[in-house]
């Protein structure tokens, strides 16, 4: 009986370790429009993420660690800002704001 309990504890610890390790492979990002009047679109690594009205924030979404680019465009598609965010760290949460 004691061997079974130890075996179950080892299995449970292994499952717990494997589950937590997946959180360390990705990072989470979200985008926030802090403009009082502009509707904007965050373009993350070349892809449109959302259309955000003033004051809106997206939900967190998974991203790979490392360097990414973000470009903010207005509702007509005009580029407002462009920047690189190097070294996103795995397991962290990031919020990228647009400010006028």
Report which of 60, 68, 78, 54 is spatially closest to residue 23, judged by C-alpha positions. Answer: 60
Q: Which helix (H) or strand (E) holds 100?
A: none
Residue that is written with structure tokens 């990705």 in the block: 26
Q: pLDDT per residue over 45-80, tens digit each?
A: 999 999 999 999 999 999 999 899 999 999 899 999
What pLDDT does residue 74 have? 94
Match 């924030």 to its residue by tokens.
57
Q: State pTM to two decimals.
A: 0.73
Residue with token string 């009986």: 1
Structural domains present in the chain: 26-98 (2.60.40.780)
Pairing of strands 93-98, 27-33: parallel
CB atoms within 10 A of CB 72: 23
């Amino acid at each position: 009986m004691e061997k079974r309990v130890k075996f179950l504890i080892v299995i449970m610890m292994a499952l717990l370790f494997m589950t937590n390790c997946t959180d360390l492979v990705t990072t989470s990002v979200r985008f926030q429009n802090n403009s009082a009047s502009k509707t904007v679109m965050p373009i993350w690594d070349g892809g449109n993420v959302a259309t955000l009205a003033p004051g809106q924030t997206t939900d967190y979404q998974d991203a790979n660690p490392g360097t990414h680019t973000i470009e903010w465009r207005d509702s007509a598609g005009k580029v407002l800002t462009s920047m690189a965010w190097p070294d996103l760290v795995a397991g962290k949460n990031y919020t990228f704001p647009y400010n006028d």
